Amino acid sequence: MAPEHVDVLIVGVGLSGIGAACHLERDAPDKSYAVLEARGAIGGTWDLFRYPGVRSDSDMFTLGYAFRPWNGAKAIADGPSIRDYIRHTAREFGVTDKIRFHSEVVSAEWSTDGARWTVTVRRTDTGESEQLTCSWLSVCSGYYRYDQGHEPRFEGSALFTDRVVHPSTGPRTSTAPASGSSSSAVAPPRSPWCRAWPPRPRT
């Protein structure tokens, strides 16, 4: 049996994937599409990161959707508010029912002859595999791994004997090895779970 074919296949239901699907609903209602998501929830970054104080560092009037402007009380918003905003947007535009959760894209092959992608999907709940084809593949999968935090090795890193905790899995950290937006957000100075926060800037 030939795999199911859709005009557009969107991968990921973070800000980008939900935004792409809403645009299709609004501007190309005649196109068939499906949305695949490896996890079991909408929100991407804003569902994964749940440490105390998680928030955006851009203003939401810029980071939010032009077609559904942010109207929250705070321009720099907390994570749960952004997650709700993405979820409500998906529901309002009729996208939620199009999402296939627990569906991880593991490969995609382009055929010039057939002018289509063949996408292999692994069900993360059952381990089963299936294939779909699409004419347009929109990869909105973010820029980091969801199954494990990034842990770069650098000279002397083995000397650090304390526990390394990633913000995506909930920090109880005493040292934040940077002073960018993430570490500033992860280790707010008055946070009750932060024993000490001596920033370690590179420059």
Which residues here bind ligand FAD, judged by CB under 6 A?
11-17, 36-39, 44-45, 49, 54, 56-58, 63, 104-105, 140-142, 146, 182, 185
Between 49 and 70, name the residue whose CB sits nearer to ligand FAD: 49
Count CB neighbours of 81 within 10 A.
16
Residue 195, number of CB atoms within 10 A of its CB = 9
CB of 126 to ligand FAD, least distance (A): 15
Q: How near is the Cβ of 13 to ligand FAD at its closest, in Å?
A: 5
Min dist. Cβ of residue 95 to ligand FAD (A): 13
Based on CB atoms, which residue is closest to ligand FAD, 39 or 116? 39
Which residues 6+ apart lie within 8 Å of 81 measured at CB?
A: 72, 74
Nearer to ligand FAD, 103 or 116 (CB): 103
Alpha helices in 28-71 (DSSP H): 45-48, 60-63
Which residues have a Cβ under 8 Å from the Cβ of 198 and sit 6 or more positions away? 175
Please state the closest distance from residue 146 (CB atom) to ligand FAD, in A: 5
Nearest CA to 93 among 33, 139, 40? Answer: 33
Give 152 or 158: the residue with its C-beta nearer to ligand FAD. 152
